[in-house]
């Protein structure tokens, strides 16, 4: 009988049930962050707007959130992409996809961290972003303009939206972010960590995907959740689970 590719992880999840609490297992998968505009739990949102549409079947964002984040200066955070003049459409597309991933994805549980900020209690940290996503983001934005290398802090908010701080000079993205890694890892205080893996590997998060092909980030979240749970177990049990994972995957390929 042919099995789909995911059973090794699902079977190991059943094995883990005897050694871990339900909280240990479920808090890493299919969850929403505790943040300003996130839903309490993921669920269907059939009318998600434009670049957020891949998450329609299971989303942490609402329809109104998906519509608002496509605006140049969104009421979600009053953040203006065009703080150094009009951003090129190809560049802005990446930022909208980045925001859709942040607001809508239920597959970031393994990287959620607690924070003490007025507008959120959780963030994600060091999400393994697929290499091609980072490279195309940088390539499409390198000739647009900005005035900062870390967009998460240090803005002038006196007008109600973000303005360049005193003394900051508008230069090309490439001036502030000389490499793709500098952009993807530095832009939002290490929300992302550029992966050596490529799309389709099951080991890196895709910023955007074709929903007709399913959500590839579900498999990625399961892989890292299992790895994190195994590392938290006594050494002998962790090694046993990893060995079983290899045996099951080899069996499925035979």
**What pLDDT, on a 0 to 100 scale, did the predictor assign at position 135?**
97
**What pLDDT, on a 0 to 100 scale, did the predictor assign at position 80?**
92
Q: In Å, how far are 10, 50, 115, 148 from 169, measured between CA atoms?
A: 51, 33, 30, 8
The residue to which tokens 């499925």 are assigned: 252
**What pLDDT, on a 0 to 100 scale, did the predictor assign at position 8?**
44
User: Whole-prediction pTM value?
Assistant: 0.79
**What pLDDT, on a 0 to 100 scale, did the predictor assign at position 240?**
55
C-alpha–C-alpha distance, residues 253 and 115, integer Å: 42
pLDDT in single tens digits along all 254 residues of the chain:
333 334 444 444 443 443 333 324 447 899 999 988 899 999 999 999 999 999 999 999 999 999 999 988 777 888 999 999 999 999 999 999 999 999 999 999 999 998 888 788 899 999 999 999 999 999 999 999 999 999 999 999 999 999 999 999 999 999 999 999 999 999 999 999 999 999 999 999 999 999 888 999 999 999 999 888 766 545 454 445 555 555 554 554 45
């Amino acid at each position: 009988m042919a099995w789909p590719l995911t059973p090794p992880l699902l079977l190991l999840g059943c094995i883990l049930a005897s050694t871990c609490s339900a909280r240990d297992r479920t808090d890493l998968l299919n969850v929403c962050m505790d943040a300003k505009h996130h839903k309490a739990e993921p669920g269907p949102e059939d009318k998600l707007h434009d670049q957020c549409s891949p998450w329609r079947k299971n989303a942490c964002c609402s329809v109104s959130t998906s519509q608002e984040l496509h605006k140049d200066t969104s009421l979600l955070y009053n953040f203006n992409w065009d703080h150094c003049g009009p951003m090129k459409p190809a560049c802005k597309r990446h930022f909208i996809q980045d925001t859709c991933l942040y607001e809508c994805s239920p597959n970031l549980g393994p990287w959620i961290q607690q924070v003490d900020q007025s507008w959120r209690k959780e963030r994600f940290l060091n999400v393994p972003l697929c290499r091609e996503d980072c490279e195309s983001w940088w390539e499409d934005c390198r000739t647009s303009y900005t005035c900062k290398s870390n967009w998460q802090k240090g803005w002038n908010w006196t007008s109600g939206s973000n303005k360049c701080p005193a003394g900051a000079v508008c230069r090309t993205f490439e001036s502030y972010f000389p490499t793709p890694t500098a952009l993807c890892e530095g832009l939002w205080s290490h929300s992302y960590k550029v992966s050596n893996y490529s799309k389709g590997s099951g080991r890196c998060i895709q910023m955007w995907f074709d929903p007709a092909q399913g959500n590839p980030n579900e498999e990625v979240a399961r892989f890292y959740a299992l790895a994190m749970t195994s590392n938290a177990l006594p050494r002998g049990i962790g090694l046993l689970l990893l060995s079983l994972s290899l045996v099951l995957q080899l069996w499925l390929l035979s």
